[in-house]
Amino acid sequence: MKRKGSILSYLFLGIGFILIFIPLYMTVISSFKETYQITGDFFGLPNPFTLGNFQRILSDGITQYFFNSTLISVISICLITFFIPMAAFSIARNISKNKAFALMYSFLILGIFVPFQVIMIPITTMMTKLGLSNIPGLIILYLAYAVPQTLFLYVGYIKTGVPAELDEAAEIDGCGKFKMYFSIAFPLMKPMHATALIINALWIWNDFLLPLLILNKDSSNWTLPLFQYNYQGQYFNDFGPSFASYVVGIVVILIVYLIFQKSIISGMTSGSVK
Amino acid sequence: MTSMKKVFIACMTLSIVFLLAACGNGDSQADGKTEIEFFNQKKEMQTTLQEIIKDFEEENPDITVKFTNVPDAGTVLKTRISSGDIPDIINIYPQNADFQAWANSDIFTDLTGKDYLNNLTEGAAEAYAINDKVYSVPLTSNAWGFFYNVDKFEELNLEVPKTWDDFEQLIKDIQGKEETPFALSLTQEDAWTLNGYHQLAWATTNGGYEGANNALVFSPKGSIKVGNADFDAVADQLDLLNGTGQKNATGASYEDAIATFANQEALILPNGTWALPAVQNQNPEFEIGMFAYPGQEEGQELTVGAADLALSIAMDSENQEAAEKFVEYMTSKEAMQKYYDVDGSPTSVTSVDTEGKFSETAGVTQYVFTDQQIVWLQKDWTSEETFHHLTVEYVNSQDRDQLATNLNNFFDTMK
Amino acid sequence: MKKDNVFNRNWGYIFVFVPVALQLVFFYLPMLQGFFYSLTDWTGLTPDYNMVGLENFQRMLTDQKFIKSIGFTLFFTLGLIVGEIVLGIVIARFLNRKMKGVNFFRTAYFFPAVLSTVTLGLIFKQIFNYGLPQLGESLGIGFLEQNLIANEQTVFWGVLFVALWQGVAMPVVIFLAGLQSIPKDVLEAASIDGASNGQRFLHIELPYLLPSVSMVFIMALKAGLTAFDLIFALTGGGPADKTTTLGLLVYNYAFNNNQYGYANAIAVVLFITIAVISVLQIRLSKRFEV
């Protein structure tokens, strides 16, 4: 009985793995092909096998774009992890006592379902006028647009994961709210930090449209997705180097996931009260 | 816990330092040179243009050209112009609605009567004049037609069609010889590849540019109907593409269609001259030729095309003189010969030596700058993309009523 | 302690200040501008426009593309929500078993999330157009021989498949975390009682999974309603506008058709609808909480 169950599990997981593996395999294989072979024989093995695409992206300065993307992602994530849980904590604690916070909560999360394309033109105009068409401007926008979804997730988590009794206990110890938040509540949200980090990192690392609109002037400011996309002209797509740069992007984000995977899964185990 | 604190403090310090550094970072223009920005939309020609810019900078040591190439250039340009951040020199297609709207609201400098316009074929710049003023210097022109496999045509005793009837017969013959006639990409995303076909169908049935647009956009609302002689003829011509493409044509991308043609799995690739480099990248083992869209009778072949590399100067630019110097340089033989030798699109710069070059596309480019070339019909439309989509939708569905409805919906908003 | 009393009394407001200010400036201000433009015939190109009143809103009622797009977006979102929750839980339960190599699978099942949608579109287009038909031919499955995303009848399922292929990765992680949060003694008690697989799921696991379900629900709802990149890269909204989402429609009207005023009118309607639903939802969920 038990044996049968585990064979079934392997079968199920194995089939799923193949489904997952094929597109990933295609990406890696394509990065070792010449462009004409990718277009002409997409499913074939690399023939001839070439490292030219990787040499090409190196000489086209991928390191600079890689650095920009890393910088933008890291700083945005830092700011997101600083400001949003804080606001979420305040809202979770005050929402039932104070109407103003209920109102602010709706105000903050209403943007969650609105497609970005809706505000694309006004926002670009505004950033230009404010002189923020640069990396700091982009980071500010990431922080702003991370608010609705991230805040929502944190508020939900705090309600169960950081019980209000802790506040009272801290107050008896003579702790102010600030100290209480930073030394007790913030560390307790660790699994949520890991989850929010992965969700936002995936989004920021792969985002194309926002950097395109904000960083379009000086190519030395570009992010990795802009660099990748730049190999695609209207009438001729240079797939070889694009795929090589996709592979580079994937490897990085996978490493980030491997680092934080444990925190998400094990963290929620230990931190859960009910 | 302490390690978490350390990470946290490191993060915050990094953010603050970075934001402060960025705020104090002003523009630096130390060497006293004039800097002009050249916004390019022809990414395929980036390398060549870079070389030309280098030559220009050597000749004009007091000017530096900032060469801007971005992905999705059309969207970027639109947002930049609407936020008032206009590049000094822009490579922009003067037949498009965007250009015309911008020219009308004084975004571009009036270049009427400038000396360097004499370096171009007569009337080339005036063709795109808005209110009789020249805002664009068109340097090359693209052209739409049919690429074909010359070797296979010879092998199978096929001939380039001279009339529409010939063309239909040709397709039947190709099918009769167990070959596939067309390499197509019938997806919504790459629907633009058939824009030329549909436009030329209207132009050949209605006697040219004016006739076509009179029927489409200058007619009363809702007047495009099944049963109209011209509509039926156009639909008949579009029918030629149904079922004559390669297997999987309905889901094929532009690149797939190119690969199909280059691998000799189909003999004809309907597309513009711009597709040549992509075809050649596939190292085809045959001679490539091109022929134009056949008319009802011999000698009525048409091609559709318009300015490809065309330059405009921003009215707001503080460096008008330097910008004009650059545009003037681009009309010289020195610059355009370099460009032409790589790009191969017919050029309006008369001094460029084009003899015997780019024979692959000659079958179509011979008509450029003659009265057998029409300008893209969208010159009189406010947008074009929906037109591409409805073309492919019809080729796939053969639903004539739907085609008429779609055409009316699209053009009625402009009437 | 007395010194920071002012801060401590108003800590609630200080904590929310930055996000509120950011939303105000970078979301509501542009939205407000959008409201204004929705009353004009602005093309988005030049500075001049005319006020046209509610004309744009009237036009929406008869705009076939808009109606088609609402239909697709709703069904797509529904498919995404159901798919992410059901598939997510099924996969997470398999990954929660104690068996050899399960850690490898746990990592592998997250792979799809790391691919950018542009790459995903490129690859799946090839698979749908050449890979699957070849497979269908060699196995004699007629259904697979055609391109599933080029056919108006099947394109919905094709697109949903790709969206779930990528979209289910994060839910799996979240559900897995939920499953792991069940205390050991509860599970042991169940196995001593001899609970069947189904009973165990319904009575023990599901209650622990509910917070994860509501989290995934919101994430899937957001992903569906704002879907853009994947559709753009995979089908471009075709065939025959069958897969045009509202985000894509707004983008097309604003940037390709130069009807910025009309595009904004759609955006406004979208925003108001969502706002009303969200507020109702918050009200309702509060009522149930008490």
Q: What is the pLDDT of residues B122-147, one digit of tens each?
A: 888 998 999 999 999 999 999 999 99
Between residues 134 and 193 of chain A, which touch chain B (CB distance below 8 Å)? 134-136, 139, 187, 190
Do residue B132 and residue B215 come from a single domain? Answer: no
Which two tokens mark A249?
Answer: 């992007």
Contact A53, A31 (CB under 8 A): yes
Which of A30, A39, A127 would best serve as a mutation to test chain B binding (most B beta carbons within 10 A)? A39
Does residue B16 fall inside a structural domain? no
Sign of the C-alpha dihedral computed for residues C240, C242, C248 and C251 taken in this order = positive
pLDDT value for A269: 46
pLDDT value for C271: 84
Looking at chain C, which residue has its C-alpha nearest residue A262?
C177
A45 pLDDT higher than 50: yes
The CATH number assigned to the domain holding B206 equals 3.40.190.10
Total domains in chain B come to: 2
Q: What is the pLDDT of residues C106-118, one digit of tens each?
A: 888 888 888 888 7
Do residue B389 and residue B338 come from a single domain? Answer: no
Between residues 179 and 208 of chain C, which touch chain A (CB distance below 8 Å)? 180-181
Taking the C-alpha atoms of residue B281 and residue A264, their distance in angstroms, rounded to an integer, is 47
Q: What is the pLDDT of residues C32-47, one digit of tens each?
A: 888 898 999 888 887 7
CB contact under 8 A, B71 and A212: yes
Give the mean pLDDT of chain B: 90
A189 pLDDT higher than 80: yes
CB contact under 8 A, B71 and A136: no
Contact A94, C12 (CB under 8 A): yes
Does residue B49 fall inside a structural domain? yes
CB contact under 8 A, B79 and A213: yes
Give the minimum alpha-carbon distance from B54 to chain C in angstroms, rounded to a whole number.
33
Give the minimum alpha-carbon distance from A218 to chain C in angstroms, rounded to a whole number.
23
Looking at chain B, which residue has its C-alpha nearest residue A225?
B71
Q: Which structural domain range is residue B222 located in?
A: 144-304+382-412
Taking the C-alpha atoms of residue B35 and residue B155, their distance in angstroms, rounded to an integer, is 57
Does residue B345 fall inside a structural domain? yes
For chain B, percent of residues with pLDDT exceeding 90: 71
Q: Tell whether A63 lies on the interface with B, counting CB pairs under 8 A.
A: no
pLDDT value for C288: 56
B233 pLDDT higher than 90: yes
Give the minimum alpha-carbon distance from B368 to chain A in angstroms, rounded to a whole number.
20
pLDDT value for C290: 38
Do residue B112 and residue B187 come from a single domain? Answer: no
pLDDT value for B288: 95
pLDDT value for C222: 86
Does residue B111 fall inside a structural domain? yes
Q: What is the pLDDT of residues B345-360, one digit of tens each?
A: 899 999 999 888 899 9
C282 pLDDT higher than 80: no
Chains that touch A (3 or more CB pairs under 8 A): B, C
Burial A252-270 (b: 16+ CB within 10 A, else e): bbeebbeebbebbbebbbe
**Chain C residues in contact with B392 (beta carbon < 8 A):** 238-239
pLDDT value for B31: 65
Q: Tell whether C133 lies on the interface with A, counting CB pairs under 8 A.
A: no
Give the minimum alpha-carbon distance from B318 to chain C in angstroms, rounded to a whole number.
20
Does residue B43 fall inside a structural domain? yes
Chains that touch C (3 or more CB pairs under 8 A): A, B
pLDDT value for B21: 61
The total number of residues written for chain A in this structure:
274
B293-320 mean pLDDT: 93
A267 pLDDT higher than 70: no
State the pairing for strand pair B89-91/B310-313. Answer: antiparallel
pTM as predicted: 0.86
Do residue B180 and residue B295 come from a single domain? Answer: yes
CB atoms within 10 A of CB A173: 10
Mean pLDDT lowest for which of B32-41, B51-60, C114-123? Answer: C114-123
Q: Tell whether C75 lies on the interface with A, counting CB pairs under 8 A.
A: no
Do residue B246 and residue B289 come from a single domain? Answer: yes
B32-44 mean pLDDT: 89
Can you give the residue ranges of every domain in chain A?
A: 56-271
Between residues 64 and 103 of chain C, which touch chain B (CB distance below 8 Å)? 64
Looking at chain A, which residue has its C-alpha nearest residue B27?
A131
pLDDT value for A273: 37
What would the DSSP string read from start to end of B362-387?
HHHHTTTTSTTEE--GGGGSS--HHH
Does residue B19 fall inside a structural domain? no
Mean pLDDT lowest for which of B217-231, C77-91, C175-189? Answer: C175-189
**Chain A residues in contact with B85 (beta carbon < 8 A):** 128, 133, 217
Who contacts A259 (Cβ-Cβ below 8 Å, separation ≥6)?
Answer: none
Distance of CA C63 to the CA centre of its chain: 25
Which of C46, C153, C244 would best serve as a mutation to test chain B binding (most B beta carbons within 10 A)? C46
**Chain A residues in contact with C108 (beta carbon < 8 A):** 17, 20-21
Q: Tell whether B2 lies on the interface with A, counting CB pairs under 8 A.
A: no
φ, ψ at B295 (rounded to 5°): -95, -170
Please report where in the chains the tokens 């305040």 appear, as a residue.
A90
Do residue B176 and residue B220 come from a single domain? Answer: yes
Mean pLDDT lowest for which of A247-261, B16-30, B364-378, C208-222? Answer: B16-30
**Chain C residues in contact with B382 (beta carbon < 8 A):** 43, 257-258
For chain A, percent of residues with pLDDT exceeding 70: 94
Do residue B61 and residue B137 come from a single domain? Answer: yes
B5 pLDDT higher than 90: no
Does the bond joining C207 to the residue before it have cis omega, within 30 degrees of 0? Answer: no
Strand segments (E) across B262-389: 268-272, 288-291, 303-304, 310-313, 373-374
The SS3 call for residue B91 is strand
Do residue B106 and residue B231 come from a single domain? Answer: no
Contact B108, B320 (CB under 8 A): no
The SS3 call for residue B147 is strand
B271 pLDDT band, cuts 50/70/90, is very high
C1 pLDDT higher than 60: no
Taking the C-alpha atoms of residue A161 and residue A155, their distance in angstroms, rounded to an integer, is 10
Q: What is the pLDDT of residues B384-402, one digit of tens each?
A: 889 999 999 999 999 999 9
State the pairing for strand pair B63-69/B34-40. Answer: parallel
Looking at chain B, which residue has its C-alpha nearest residue C59?
B413
For chain B, percent of residues with pLDDT exceeding 70: 95
Which homologous superfamily does the CATH classification assign to the domain defined by A56-271?
A: MetI-like (1.10.3720.10)
Q: What is the pLDDT of residues C136-170, one digit of tens each?
A: 888 887 777 778 888 888 899 999 999 999 999 98
Chains that touch B (3 or more CB pairs under 8 A): A, C
Looking at chain C, which residue has its C-alpha nearest residue B76?
C255
Does residue B245 fall inside a structural domain? yes
**Chain C residues in contact with B393 (beta carbon < 8 A):** 238-240
B407 pLDDT higher than 70: yes
Do residue B207 and residue B276 come from a single domain? Answer: yes
Looking at chain C, which residue has its C-alpha nearest residue A242?
C119
Do residue B283 and residue B345 come from a single domain? Answer: no
pLDDT value for A265: 66
Between residues 358 and 377 of chain B, which touch chain C (CB distance below 8 Å)? none
Q: Residue B209 half-sphere exposure, CB side, CA atoms within 13 Å?
A: 16
Residue where a domain terminates, one of B357, B374, B396: B357
C5-12 mean pLDDT: 75
A272 pLDDT higher than 50: no
CA dist A148 → A107, A114, A120, A144, C22 (Å): 9, 10, 17, 8, 11
Which two tokens mark B280?
Answer: 């050649």
Between residues 25 and 64 of chain C, which touch chain A (CB distance below 8 Å)? 25-27, 29-31, 33-34, 44
CB contact under 8 A, C110 and A261: yes
Does the bond joining B61 to the residue before it have cis omega, within 30 degrees of 0? Answer: no
Taking the C-alpha atoms of residue C5 and residue A51, their distance in angstroms, rounded to an integer, is 64
Burial B189-198 (b: 16+ CB within 10 A, else e): bbbbbbbbbb
CB contact under 8 A, A219 and B70: yes
Does residue B350 fall inside a structural domain? yes
Q: Tell whether B80 lies on the interface with A, counting CB pairs under 8 A.
A: yes
A227-242 mean pLDDT: 82
Query: Where do the domains of chain C lie, and which CATH numbers do they carry?
Result: 60-289 (1.10.3720.10)
CB atoms within 10 A of CB A29: 17
C124 closest CB neighbour out of A23, A120, A254: A23
CB contact under 8 A, C257 and B386: yes
A4-19 mean pLDDT: 85
Taking the C-alpha atoms of residue C149 and residue B248, their distance in angstroms, rounded to an integer, is 11
CA dist A258 → A28, A263, C116 (Å): 19, 10, 18
Q: Residue A175 half-sphere exposure, CB side, CA atoms within 13 Å?
A: 16
Strand segments (E) across B19-159: 34-40, 63-69, 89-91, 137-138, 144-149
pLDDT value for B4: 63
Between residues 37 and 56 of chain B, which touch chain A (CB distance below 8 Å)? 43-44
CA nearest to B140, candidates B304, B340, B342, B373: B340
Give the minimum alpha-carbon distance from B225 to chain A in angstroms, rounded to a whole number.
34
Contact A46, A40 (CB under 8 A): no
- Write the single-letter amino acid at C265: A
Between residues 47 and 66 of chain C, which touch chain B (CB distance below 8 Å)? 47-48, 64
Q: Classify residue B217 by burial, with Cβ atoms within 10 Å: 0-12, 13-18, 19+.
A: middle
DSSP state of B141: B
Taking the C-alpha atoms of residue C42 and residue C65, their distance in angstroms, rounded to an integer, is 20
Do residue B292 and residue B312 come from a single domain? Answer: no
A270 pLDDT band, cuts 50/70/90, is very low
A17-37 mean pLDDT: 88
CA dist A87 → A152, B13, C118, C277 (Å): 10, 21, 34, 23
CA dist A92 → A81, A98, A159, A191, B323 (Å): 16, 11, 6, 17, 58
Assembly ipTM: 0.85
CB atoms within 10 A of CB B172: 12
B335 pLDDT higher than 80: yes
Q: What is the pLDDT of residues B84-93, one digit of tens each?
A: 889 999 999 9
pLDDT value for A77: 93
Burial C215-246 (b: 16+ CB within 10 A, else e): bbebbbbbbbbbbbbbbbbbbbbbbbbbbbbb
Mean pLDDT lowest for which of A130-134, C156-160, C182-186? Answer: C182-186
A7 pLDDT higher than 90: no
C129 closest CB neighbour out of B74, B107, B256: B256
CB atoms within 10 A of CB A232: 16
